[in-house]
Amino acid sequence: MTDDNPQNLQPQSNVREAGGLRVFQFGLSSLFVLVTVAALILSTYFSVGKLVGMSTMEVLTQGLGRLVFAVPIILVWIVGLTMAIRRLKQNRLPAILTIIALGGLVLTSFVFQVVHMALFHSVNSNQISSETLTWILLIIGVLHMVLNTVWWILILVAIFVRRPPDAPQPERSDPVGDPFLTDEP
């Protein structure tokens, strides 16, 4: 029995059901979050800049100018955060670990960018010596390395953590089996 309904003739796609295209959709709440995050980033840069005595132009060139080079990897981390948040109900533990790790990577990157901006301005304005800067950068570098190691270990754990079992696969009906598995002892 065939139905002449044209809707039944259209191939069904699981892309929408899997959330594939919805990842790139923006709503008012997403736009609000983006604008709020951008405002927080700018206010933090300008506040720290004014705190250490930087002009607006110095904040733009020394602070935000350096941030431009970190934007591609930060965007990758933000996409990963978005995907982890969307998978929170299906795979709770991996999603939580991923959110913590990627959030930590974004926050760590941002904080160290701001700290470097303030430190380099302090050296340029003779508030600290270059020898002191060397020691501070060494300590910050070690701290940055340790934190990044922790974040990446969390990502690896999130990848390989136990997940609920997949649906059982149907048995193959063809007589050809796996050529690499033999029944011989």
| Amino acid making up residue 81 | L
The contacts found for 57-60 with CB under 8 angstroms, 24 or more apart, are 58/121, 59/117
Whether residue 17 lies inside any domain: the answer is no
Tally of domains within the chain: 1
Q: Which helix (H) or strand (E) holds 108?
A: helix 92-124
Whether residue 103 lies inside any domain: the answer is yes
The residues, ordered by sequence, that sit 6+ positions from 77 with a Cβ below 8 Å of its Cβ are 102, 105, 106, 109
Using CA atoms, how far residue 180 sits from 113, 165, 170, 173, 175, in Å, is: 52, 25, 20, 18, 15
Whether residue 88 lies inside any domain: the answer is yes
Whether residue 24 lies inside any domain: the answer is no
Whether residue 69 lies inside any domain: the answer is yes
Q: Give the pLDDT of residue 104.
A: 93
Whether residue 64 lies inside any domain: the answer is yes
Q: Give the pLDDT of residue 155.
A: 93
Residues of the chain predicted below pLDDT 70: 1-27, 30, 163-185
Whether residue 68 lies inside any domain: the answer is yes
- Residue 123, domain extent: 54-162
Q: What percent of the chain has pLDDT over 70?
A: 72
pTM for the whole structure:
0.68
Q: Which helix (H) or strand (E) holds 123?
A: helix 92-124
Whether residue 34 lies inside any domain: the answer is no
CA–CA separation, 118 and 63 (whole Å): 8
Do the Cβ atoms of 143 and 135 come closer than 8 Å? no
